[in-house]
Each structure stands twice: as structure tokens, then as C-alpha cells.
Chains A and B, each alone.
Chain A
Amino acid sequence: ETGVTQTPRHLVMGMTNKKSLKCEQHLGHNAMYWYKQSAKKPLELMFVYSLEERVENNSVPSRFSPECPNSSHLFLHLHTLQPEDSALYLCASSQVDYGGGYTFGSGTRLTVV
């Protein structure tokens, strides 16, 4: 497999559930990102991992918890979410010292009921 792969593609969860989103990149990149995409709003940066160290956390509520066990894998652990957390969650990767763009996965469409 090539590129950035996200699983699951769709997720419906209740407000009391705990679930995890998974992202895997096969590009040899050393930085990974979580973004949230809501309708009619810009992509919102949530977390940045550079060389497996979290370097940015954009005031994201603690009900979202990232994990980066190695440079190829990134998780987003979810617990006690709110309906307003329903969105498309996108993972991306890049080379940290390269000024270019990111490679995105296809995203996980999350619905909180």
C-alpha cells in the first residue's frame, strides 16, 4: 500500500463510547498531523507530531487524545465526545524540513449521536 491510509472510513459513536482513529503512512515522512474538517469551515489543525514528538496542540479538548508510536503510525483516541465533534477527521504526513505540502488520507467521517 502507498500513501496515507485512514481507518475506519466511517464511524458512528455515542457520547459515552471510546473509540480510536488510525492513520498509517507509507511515504517515509517524519511528520504527521490531525486536522478536523467541518462544513463551510477551514481545516482546523488539531495536533502535529514531528519526529514522533508532539510539537503542536491547538487547544484541543482533552476528549481527543493523540498517540504517535512511530513515524509511520498516528492514532486519535476519542472519549465522551459531543455532537458538535461530528466532522471529517483528516490525517496528513510530510517531511518536516521540506517546505512543501502534505499528503492527506481520505479521512474518517465521524458522527456523534
Chain B
Amino acid sequence: QKEVEQDPGPLSVPEGAIVSLNCTYSNSAFQYFMWYRQYSRKGPELLMYTYSSGNKEDGRFTAQVDKSSKYISLFIRDSQPSDSATYLCAFRTGRRALTFGSGTRLQVQP
């Protein structure tokens, strides 16, 4: 079983739609949960960071963590063409290096 599972997509939605991106994980020691956004020909940039179960909101973005189900989600409201990118989930245990999902490619159609 892979440590992190993430649907690679591509996911294509119309502008204004609500987008849901998800990852499941198997390592119960993961303590920190992150979402990165990666535009083409760029490095990943940190989008959302959470430490505990529950929701965290930042503008149009909401990160959700369910530790009991080992499941994290990123919701994007009122999606824009500029949101078109690859979204990577990432996990961290203490001082260990980050473990990444393979990324979901999102295309928002104008």
C-alpha cells in the first residue's frame, strides 16, 4: 500500500465551480498536513498548512483534515482559470522530510 494516494486527474471544471481535491494516507504518525500548488515550469508553493483535524479557511480555499479516516481535502470555491495548476498534498512527521502525493492536475475552463 502506498503511503499517500492522490488521484492524478486531470480534473476539468468550468469557471465558478467548487473544486474538491483529496488525498488518503496510511501513516498515522503524520502530524502536519499541507497543500502545495505547482504551476507549469515552476516549483511548488505552499498553499495551505494545518496541524490538527478540522477545517482551515483562507479566502477561497478550505483545507479539511480527518485524522480518523486518514483523509485530507482541499476545496476551492468560485474557481478561476488562474487556479489551473497541479495540486500536491504533503505530510510531515516531526523533523522528517515531507512526503508528497503525486499531484492532481486541475484545469479551470473560462
Give the B-binding residues of A (Cβ under 8 A).
4, 6, 33, 40-43, 45, 48, 50, 56, 90, 92, 96-97, 99-107, 109
Return B96 CB to nearest CB of chain A, in Å.
Answer: 8
* Pairwise interchain contact B31-A99, C-beta atoms closer than 8 A: yes
Return B77 CB to nearest CB of chain A, in Å.
Answer: 22
Number of interface residues of B (CB under 8 A): 26
| Known A42-B4, A45-B97; contact A107-B102, beta-carbon cutoff 8 A | no
| Known A40-B8, A43-B88, A107-B43; contact A100-B32, beta-carbon cutoff 8 A | yes
Verify if B45 is at the interface (C-beta below 8 Å from A).
yes
A-B contact count (CB 8 A): 57
Give the A-binding residues of B (Cβ under 8 A).
4, 8, 31-32, 34, 36, 41-46, 49, 51, 88, 90, 92, 94-95, 97-103
A6–B43 alpha-carbon span in the complex (Å): 10
A56–B45 alpha-carbon span in the complex (Å): 23
Q: A42: which B residues are within 8 A, CB to CB?
A: 4, 99-103
The chain B residue sitting closest to A107, CB to CB, is B43
Return A71 CB to nearest CB of chain B, in Å.
Answer: 16
